[in-house]
Amino acid sequence: MATDLLEETDIETQTINTIRFLSADAVQQAESGHPGTPMGLAPVAYVLWTRHLRHNPQDPDWPGRDRFVLSAGHASMLLYSLLHLTGYDLPMEELKGFRQWGSRTPGHPEAHLTPGVETTTGPLGQGFANGIGMAIAEQLLADEFNEEGFPLFDHHTYAICSDGDLMEGISQEAASLAGHLGLGKLVYFFDDNDITIDGSTDLAFTEDVAARFEAYGWHVAHVEDANDLEAVDRAIEEAKAETERPSLIRIQSHIGYGSPNKQDTAAAHGAPLGEEELRGAKEALGWPPGETFYVPDAVYDHMRAAKTEGQEAQREWEALREAYEEAHPGQAARLKRWMNRELPEGWEEALPAFEPTADTGEELATRKASGLTLEALAPEVGYLIGGSADLTGSNKTDVEGRGDFQKDSRSGRYFRFGVREHAMAGLSNGMALHGGIQPYAGTFLIFSDYLRPSLRLSALMEQPVVYVFTHDSIGLGEDGPTHQPVEHLMALRAIPGATLIRPADANEAARAWAAAVTRTDGPTALALTRQTLPIVDRTELTTAEGLRRGAYILREAAGQPDAVLMGTGSEVQHALQAARALEKDGIQAQVVSMPSWELFEEQSETYRRKVLPPSVEARVSIEAGITQGWERYVGPEGTAIGVDRFGASAPGERVMKEYGLTAERVAEEARSLVRG
């Protein structure tokens, strides 16, 4: 009966309706999800995936593929339907398990969980920024490795975005930078369906989107009807022919297309259509109303041509790569290292060693030590590439001789992100996801709030982005409480999978970079000082190598310790001074530098008990941030010294003193605990 109903329908219409109703059926069965956008945009996705997108369902990760990003991640079933139909490892059982425990079809797409999903989307605007990062990576790698006759990197990045994506601030930041950089291989589809969760977009979004993007420097095209396949195809061809500007194709669609009572309404956005309404939609579009998860054999045959076409495209690319290896063996070997983020032999020898202040008299801010380390490390680790959100001089993130990556200078290896913290982090995620680059991104620690959603996704996607956060405490001084981070260290520690490192001196800063470039499964945040710090004399103390274990005994007590003094960053110096003062009173204190809680928690229980002996209850921590959380290390009998209020505008040294971040305070608290 189903076959009879469809026999007069052409294969393209059958396929588009298959995409629509696989999506709607999955949402209905899950009793949760967003059916409207897949139903409205199925024709656009069909044209892109069958006529333009270069991909191989049997090898989703081959480097020469085009990238497709569903920034409108709520429409996840659109992507899952496409992946299933074109032959990715996503069987029908996974579609039927949409949004259920253990399935590879979660509510919003997740990178590395579902084959063919390039990035984790859902928080609106994130995919928009990620795609731009991918396009940047393609251009940079093309400049770095392509040779005449060998266009190894020559692919497009496509994305579908919604009204909601374009309302979010991150998309505006990212679009502005994309236009400035002239990313010609970037093609975005704007699903202009006039509906968001609350109702009509007229409630809050009445701007001229096309004019805005034209002002950004984008090429803008308009397709009046999403169901006009040839108009969609022409718009994509036009966009691909535009090599100097990114392209936005505005597609006017009908959310919930075919639904008798819910088409063009918010009711089709974030909830199942309902059994009767879904049946009515199937009847309206000539689909078997009694069938669920129905795929005609002809549709499978039609869509799974992508497997043959993808294999052939990849074979051609692999042949090109093999010829490249013969013609340019040195470049090919370097490319392999970049794509695998493979550190060269002996790379750690490039890390600088800083002489102790006692020998030179020179104190050094950890931000400056970080910059010097990056200068030394960058030639060894070429794929470590990044920039700053208009704070280059403050973050010390530039590398001499690298130049700026610009529209007319793709050979630059430094990014001027502008005052766009959130986009900077979103783009960095995209670059990391693309492969071949380990990005770093610099700003003040206080502005980690501006990019926190993107940093959270770095952790969720296990991407090794390095965040260089300088001006890490009230010690920055005169700029005052608006620029002095207080709660931010703990806020970063609260993100699962993120590693925060707050080095105590220049040598710890160098080792922090070593830890960051060896991390492959998540982001690393470096918290660095503006103010200068003494460089610890390691001749009588332990080496900065201990940083890799998160916390280590910097100064051992003579015999059984009476107290443990622990600190991070600029406050470790006070713990050391306090230990010396306590020794004069006959109190033996073990000093622990604790730059990274996360790395410390990865160590064995035996090691952790050695660093923080359970028998020693007199414990004092000192950190220029909120004390919440330190109870896990100081214990119920210990004391946490910190900053549980906002900062103040004054010279940094004065602010630190007024807030009690001093060696005298540490010693006083320790005496009190030891003597009871």
**Burial group, residue 407, by CB count within 10 angstroms (0-12, 13-18, 19+):** middle
Token code pair at residue 94? 């996974």
Contact indicator for 292, 24 with CB cutoff of 8 Å: no
Which residues, including other chains, have CB under 8 Å from residue 298's CB and lie 6 or more apart?
Answer: 11, 14
Which residues lie below 8 Å from residue 609, measured CB to CB, with a gap of 6+? Answer: none
Cα–Cα distance between 262 and 411 in angstroms, integer?
51
DSSP structure class, residue 304: T
The residues pairing with 592 across neighbouring beta strands, listed in sequence order, are 553, 566
Q: Is 20 exposed, middle or buried (0-12, 13-18, 19+ CB in 10 A)?
A: buried
Is the CA virtual torsion 143, 148, 152, 154 positive or negative?
Answer: positive
Looking at the DSSP bridge assignments, the partners of residue 69 are 159
Pairwise CA distance, residues 656 & 646, whole Å:
12
Cβ-defined contacts of 232-237 (< 8 Å, 24+): 232/43, 232/44, 232/47, 232/48, 233/47, 233/51, 236/47, 236/48, 236/51, 236/52, 236/187
Give the three-state DSSP class for 213: helix
DSSP letter for 445, please.
G
Task: Tell me, yes or no, if 400 is annotated catalytic.
Answer: no
From CA 375, how far away is CA 510, in angstroms rounded?
11
Annotated active-site residue in 421, 508, 598, 623? 421
Q: What six digits make up the tokens of 367?
A: 């931000």
Residue 542's closest CA among 518, 571, 499, 576?
A: 576
Torsion of Cα atoms, 120 then 441 then 166 then 242, to 10°: -100
User: CA torsion 282→283→285→287, rounded to 10°?
Assistant: 60
- Residue 348 is classified by DSSP as G
Q: Please list, in sequence order, all residues whose beta carbon lies within 8 angstroms of the beta carbon of residue 292, skipping any fewer than 6 positions away.
A: 25, 28, 29
Residue 377's CB is within 10 A of a number of other CB atoms, namely: 22
Residue 185 near residue 131 (C-beta atoms within 8 A): no
Q: Which residues of 212-241 are buried (b: 16+ CB within 10 A; e: fewer)?
A: bbeebbbbbbebeebbbbebbbebbeebee
* CB 155 within 8 Å of CB 141: no
As annotated, the active-site residues are 421
